[in-house]
């Protein structure tokens, strides 16, 4: 199994969000729980550019897709 190229901190940076551990935790707490019937990219807290990036990375099953899934799971945890 290959090592991941990116970590969650990198995804936050790519999205133009603060990427230190405290900011990531605060973001997840502020936007949780995300309803199960809402796709991550359709959440109301993204800009259109951020939402497009999330959709594209998942559609292409790109390097970021695993982290997008990880963020989605973190936002849905209760």
In a domain, 3, yes or no: no
**Is 15 part of any domain?**
yes
Q: What is the pLDDT of residue 1?
A: 45
Q: Which residues of the chain have pLDDT under 70?
A: 1-4, 78
Structural domain harbouring 72: 8-76
Q: Looking at the domain assignment, is residue 49 inside a domain?
A: yes
- Extract the tokens encoding 58: 């998942």
**What pTM was computed for the model?**
0.90
Helix axes 21-31, 65-76, angle to 10 degrees: 60
65-76 vs 48-59: helix axis angle to the nearest 10? 120
φ and ψ at residue 20, rounded to 5 degrees: -80, 160
| CATH number for position 53 | 1.10.10.1130
Predicted confidence at residue 5, as pLDDT, reads 82
- Residue 26 resides in a domain: yes
CA gap 31, 28 in Å, rounded? 5
Contact 53, 14 (CB under 8 A): yes
Total domains, the chain: 1
pLDDT for position 2: 57
The answer to the question of residue 36 being in a domain is yes
């Amino acid at each position: 199994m290959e090592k991941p190229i990116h970590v969650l901190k990198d995804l936050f940076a790519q999205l133009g969000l603060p990427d230190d551990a405290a900011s990531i935790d605060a973001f997840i707490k502020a936007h949780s729980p995300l309803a199960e019937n809402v796709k991550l990219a359709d959440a109301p807290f993204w800009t259109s550019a951020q939402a497009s990036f999330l959709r594209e990375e998942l559609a292409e099953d790109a390097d970021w897709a695993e982290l997008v899934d990880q963020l989605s799971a973190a936002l849905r945890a209760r």
